[in-house]
Amino acid sequence: VVKEGERFGQKTLHFRHPAGLDFEMIEDRHDTTKGWTTKDIKADSAVRGFHSVAMSVRDVEEQERFLIDGLGLTKVGVDGAYHRFSINEGGAQKTVELIHVPDMKQGSWQFAPGIVHHVAFAVPTEKEQLEVKAHLEGMGAGVMEMAGVAQKGGGVSIHCRIAETPA
């Protein structure tokens, strides 16, 4: 454990994987997701899955515009360097946080096995997905063409590249 804390009124437990990846456990008393239990892990202390995704960004303004105007998220508030956004009613599995790191070098992110490198949001139908794609393109986001039906019966996906000048 690296640090215990609190953010947006929720207790947090920050820890670092031996490979250097940072993780947090977030206590959410409103989360009704069934937890993973065993004979040794009771329901009241079970891990219930991912609470949220957090992205470190140099420039909050542009990423915020993308989340709100592009994807329809709602800004919940700011707590220190953290800017919280909700999907629909928010809460566990419906929360995105931007961590403002203004001194982070541009292009300094890493892409390697085990590192989270993309975030996926569910869109109910292919028709709605095409509407989202057109909307994002209209905002100037670089959107790659549909990737096709994923293996194993998965959904169709689009990929966005967010940059000051779309490619």
- At 85-109, the pLDDT tens digits run 999 988 888 999 999 999 988 766 6
Instruction: Return the pLDDT at 164.
Output: 52
The pTM of the whole model exceeds 0.75: yes
In this structure, are residues 148 and 159 in contact, taking their beta carbons and an 8 Å threshold?
A: no
Average pLDDT for the chain: 82
Maximum distance among all alpha carbons in the chain?
54
In which residue are the tokens 């670089």 written? 142
